[in-house]
Structure 1
């Protein structure tokens, strides 16, 4: 009979995600992880093969939570423009702590580049999922004449997705909220049709 787990795996994964988010993959040691989770290294190894496996699962958890939040904003009973505004607003972090940490997915993309196919796949999966959410909202806005149809909904979704990612890099780099808000406002204004003004 297998030995029962001695810790809450979901809680340990959440705590590990927070640690990776704060320090990045390379700067996070196993001592950091065991101290944060209060779980012994051997016990963590029983569930997660190694630090990289734990990191990949933490990235997946971050992606799932981020996408769930965006889907909730996209499902609100408001106009497509209000939905896009809410998503843009959610890009701006609420306090100095979250501002300092930035976005775990963007941080990971910058840390790894294209060196790790599995990390890259997780990053691209999130970007693709965000793009699909944005495209649906934009397509609805175009049908209602609120969003410019000079470009396709796909092209505008790719554009806005990159603007949001860039805003997260700006935050992490120390740009002011005012600078970032100006970028988001300008990008948003370029997408709005005359009817949406």
Structure 2
């Protein structure tokens, strides 16, 4: 999904919320598609003991999808690249299993 499309989707979601059933259904489907893709990757990572099993893959996927949407908004708002990278690193590192040395 392109950056502008994602931002438009976020704007529509904020503007209409649950007031318009057709818009609500379309937005849920688009968000669910990205969450499903993330969830597939997370499940594989959990099976390989690379990603934490402290939470279900579906919850981690939803959290990462929300982070992704938020980061896109920050990019569009002109946030510094290093801060975006730091936030992304935090999101990824928070779900990884760290092996003791």
Tell me by how many angstroms 1:184 deviates: 1.1
* More relative contact order, 1 or 2 (CA 8 Å, 6+ apart): 2
Structure 2 CA distance, aligned partners of 1:112 and 1:103?
14
- Contact conserved, 2:38 with 2:61, CA < 8 A, in 1? yes
CA distance in 1, matches of 2:69, 2:6: 10
The two structures, once aligned, show a CA RMSD in angstroms of 2.1
> 1:161 & 1:102 partners in 2: Cα distance?
11
Superposed CA deviations along residues 169-196 of structure 1, whole A, max 9, x for unmatched, are 222333222222211110101011124x
The number of equivalent residue pairs is 99
Partner of 2:51: 147
Counterparts of 2:22 and 2:74, CA distance in 1: 25
Q: Where in structure 1 are there 5+ consecutive unaligned residues? A: 1-65, 67-90
Corresponding position of 1:63: none
| Aligned counterpart, 1:192 | 96
Tell me the alpha carbon deviations over residues 63-113 of structure 1, each in whole angstroms, 9 at most, x when there is no partner. xxx3xxxxxxxxxxxxxxxxxxxxxxxx8x5xxxx5xx8622112213323
Q: Which residue of 2 aligns with 1:127?
A: 31
Q: Report if the CA contact (8 A) 1:106-1:168 is conserved.
A: no
The alpha-carbon deviation at position 115 of structure 1 amounts to 2.8
State the SS of the aligned residue for 1:194. Answer: coil
Structure 1 counterpart SS, 2:94: helix
Runs of at least 5 residues in structure 2 that lack an aligned partner in the other structure: none
Equivalent residues of 1:102, 1:171 under 8 A apart: no
Q: Contact (CA 8 Å) 2:6, 2:69: kept in 1 or not?
A: no
Q: Check conservation: 1:139, 1:153, Cα contact below 8 A.
A: yes
Aligned to 2:79: 175
Moved over 4 A (4+): none
1:118 and 1:174 mapped to 2: Cα distance? 32
